[in-house]
Amino acid sequence: MAIGPKAHEKHRFRIEDKLSGEGAPIPDTLKEWAELYQVSGLKFLERSPTPDNEPPHPDGGIAPPLPVYRANGHCRLDKTTWETQCQRCPWGLSMVTEIILDHWNPSKKCWRFETHCYGPKDCPRYKAGSPYRVPGRKSGMVFLDDDVERVERGENPNKANF
């Protein structure tokens, strides 16, 4: 389920918390990663043993507020690495990404899941994976998103930007 910033601030959710509540199903599962939204009546069935003030780390911790993620920026994260090593990490995320197929006609778009890392540059588990292939406005057109902007700024595209 998707949790809003105010609810997270109040409850400091942790990986392995077990909750109950009522929510509305997501109308378009291709555009959202959660199954429920507008959740109300949250009740803790079981609390994770993670301490309330544990900072984010590769094996868990408390996720920081959304502005911290925005400030850190992201790099692409290899999907297999995310699936096998980063699902418990608050910095490794799988999210729905909107792709505008034609910048001359922004209403033409598609959605897909991409994995990203918002964590520290020196994480030993991080692996960038292949560049994302973004379809273009005409059949056969493809843009290769290979983090060129980070290379131009002198950053290593194979490490997360923190």
The residue among 86 and 13 whose pLDDT is bigger is 86
| Rounded (10°) CA dihedral 77, 149, 112, 91 | 40
Q: What is the pLDDT of residue 45?
A: 94
List Cβ neighbours of 43 (8 Å cut-off, separation of 6 or more): 19, 20, 21
Matching residue, tokens 């588990």 = 125
Give the tokens for residue 95.
Answer: 């999210």
Q: How confident is the model at residue 85 (pLDDT cuts 50, 70, 90)?
A: very high
Q: How confident is the model at residue 110 (pLDDT cuts 50, 70, 90)?
A: confident
d(CA 17, CA 39): 15
Matching residue, tokens 């910095």 = 91
Average pLDDT over every residue of 91-116 = 88
Q: What is the pLDDT of residue 151?
A: 46
pTM over 0.75: no
50, amino acid identity: T
